[in-house]
Amino acid sequence: MALYRLMNHGVIAKLQHPIRQGKESLVLHALAPDGRELAVKVHTSKVFGERERKQYLFGDWRLRHARHHIAQRTETIWAEKELRNLARLEKARVPAPRPVAFDENVVVMGFIGKDGEAAPQLNNQKSLDYSRIAARVLSSLKLMVSQAKLVHGDLSPYNILIWKKQPYLIDLSQAVLTTHPEAKRLLERDIANLKAFFASVGVDHQLFQGLSLELMDTVE
């Protein structure tokens, strides 16, 4: 029903092929009425354990209305949260998909890629200036924390797309506010994941020195 409503409201003109299928979502290529390419993310059923609820939902004041409906509305909550987080990144000028709309369990965003072919994930790249990419990723991370006031919470080379030599952050549904009680721990994990990946491709670890302390000061 959500997809039909988005089409009836003129957000989506045509649904195309699947881009990515995961355990918790399906991403489709689509076209807007003006021909722009879109990514349509359909959040599928997700059962939250108590740890996940604490990590990603219950500490977020924006979703205070969701606490008593978590069992019935997980997909809708996840979609709403992703759109809000994308909007924060856009305002902070962090490279990420452009937020367009959401309805129930569906998020519509700008497409990173061209002619229906999605940009590749960072972990699938074989020939890059990794030092340059690492510097840009860390710049995005700083903006995300200091300006958008968000912590990704699951940042890794699997949810960074490389398009025209620019890294784009994706999969923002679990991102939490810097005021979230788990924000510092999640930020430390994000930094550790990035450090481990870039070390594996030969990036000097000096690039990461001091980053954790610098960012931790901006997390409340």
**171 catalytic, yes or no?**
yes
Q: Is 103 a catalytic residue?
A: no
Give the whole-angstrom CA distance, residue 175 versus residue 83: 11
Q: What is the DSSP secondary-structure string of 143-198?
A: HHHHTS-EE-SS-SGGGEEEETTEEEE---TT-EETTSTTHHHHHHHHHHHHHHHH
Active-site residue, selected from the candidate residues 171, 190, 204, 217: 171
Amino acid identity, position 211 = L
Tokens 């045509």: give the residue. Answer: 14
Q: Which of the residues 60, 154, 190, 217 is marked catalytic? A: 154
- DSSP per-residue codes, 38-102: EEEEEE---PPPHHHIIIIITT-GGGGGGGGGTTT-HHHHHHHHHHHHHHHHHHTT-SSPPEEEE
Residues belonging to the active site: 154, 171
